[in-house]
Amino acid sequence: MNSIQRIKAALAGQFPDTTPILLHNFLMAVKEAGITHGQYRESPELIANTHLRAAENYGLDGVLIDLDTVVLSGALGVPVDLPDDVPARSHKPLLSSLEEVDDLPSSPDISRYKYVQIALEAARVLVKFAGNRLYIRGNCDQAAFSLACSLRTPAEFLMDIMDPDNAERVHRLLDYCCQATCQFIQRMAQTGVHMTSNGDSPAGPAMISPAMYREFALPYEQRIAAAAQAAGTDYMLHICGDTGLILDDLVKVGASAYELDFKTDINDIHRIIGPAAVFSGNIDPTGVLVYGSPELIAQKTRELLNVYRDIPRLILNAGCAIPAETPPENLKAMIRTAREFQR
């Protein structure tokens, strides 16, 4: 099997020849390329070359195109900082009150935003040069709940959803954010990537209750997943933290794959997600990959692979973004263990 066939087999519920590997590694890839985040985010060709270099160095089956977590925030007008040495970040909200939702346009237009255009061009370059040998995942930033948190700040938006009198405006804001996310996904799909993806970490149980997740996040995640699949791509959803309380709900999103944190019990993931969709994860990116020994990393990797021994729906990855300071020999230990693993 080649790399694309390997991942496609896992997504189809068929056993590949070896466990596919697609990493959330843009922080480490930028560091190893010897460039700054300022240089990286400004050049589609540099983004593409950075990920191709990492895929070749580590023998990966796919690449994840990712700039930061505020591309859509910036596209909707949230003030964004662009430091040279770290990924971009937002520093204040767009909406100082929920009432300002009334002043938003009826629908967003993200197409003219510089970093949306750069992400899409990076995807086109990667598809041109590696789309027939590497599986390409185009990350489309924030899902609706996460994006609404950015427009209001997480603290303010969580206060907004606590008041039933706010429900109508809250859902209008979420709908607006959902439209923006779907626009990004549809444009990313047109580049020819194999998979699109989003993160919706503030929607996890670490921040809101399962009941709130079902009311304010799940319906929009379902719309986004449906839009991605209608656009012709596989779709992956990422949520940080312990998602054990909403695993049954996550299955209802209808995603092709779920990228979940190391804090979620792998046996619960196997039992609930395993029969329905691919699981991407979930080696601890800091405690194990950064600070662990190669022996510990090999042990944790084998533990994960053994849990999934009877189900092919696994893509090996860390539980979240792999830190820049991860020792290369540690990452190689995880990959080598997976390549040598016998079912």
Tell me how far apart the alpha carbons of residues 90 and 138 are, in angstroms, rounded to a whole number.
Answer: 21
Q: What are phi and psi of 27, to 5 degrees?
A: -65, -45
How many residues are listed for the chain in this entry? 343
Q: What is the pLDDT of residue 195?
A: 98
Provide the pLDDT for residue 182: 98
In one-letter notation, the amino acid at residue 302 is R
Cβ(280)–Cβ(273) under 8 Å? no
**Torsion from C-alpha of 217, 219, 223, 224, nearest 10 degrees:** 10
Contacts (Cβ under 8 Å, ≥6 apart) of 99: 169
Q: How far apart are CA 21 and CA 281, in angstroms?
A: 10
pLDDT at 221: 98
How much is the pLDDT for 113?
98
Region label for 105, one of left (φ > 0), alpha (ψ between -120 and 50) or beta (otherwise): beta
Strands (E) in 20-93, as ranges, are 62-65, 80-81, 89-90
Q: 284 and 240 in contact (C-beta within 8 Å)?
A: no
CA pair distance 199, 78, nearest whole angstrom: 18
Task: State the DSSP H helix or E strand holding residue 30, giving kind and residue range, or none if neither.
Answer: helix 26-32
Distance CA 293, CA 26 (A): 22
Of 296, 290, 340, 341, which is closest to residue 320 (Cα–Cα)? 290
| Confidence at residue 91, expressed as pLDDT on a 0 to 100 scale | 84
Q: Give the chain's residues under pLDDT 50.
A: none
Alpha carbon 203 to its chain's center: 14
Cis peptide before 198 (omega within 30 of 0): no
Cβ-based neighbour number of residue 59 at 10 Å: 12
- Tell me if 247 sits within 8 A of 282, measured CB to CB: no
**pLDDT of amino acid 343:** 80
How much of the chain is in helix, strand and coil states, percent to nearest 5? 50, 15, 35
Say which CATH topology domain 3-340 has: TIM Barrel (3.20.20)
Residue 247 near residue 264 (C-beta atoms within 8 A): yes
Which residue pairs, CB below 8 angstroms and at least 24 apart, start in 130-133? 130/52, 130/55, 130/63, 131/192, 131/193, 131/194, 132/4, 133/2, 133/3, 133/4
Label residue 241 left, alpha or beta by phi (over 0 means left) and psi (-120 to 50 means alpha): left
Domain boundaries, the chain: 3-340
The separation between the first and the last C-alpha atoms of the chain, rounded to the nearest angstrom, is: 16
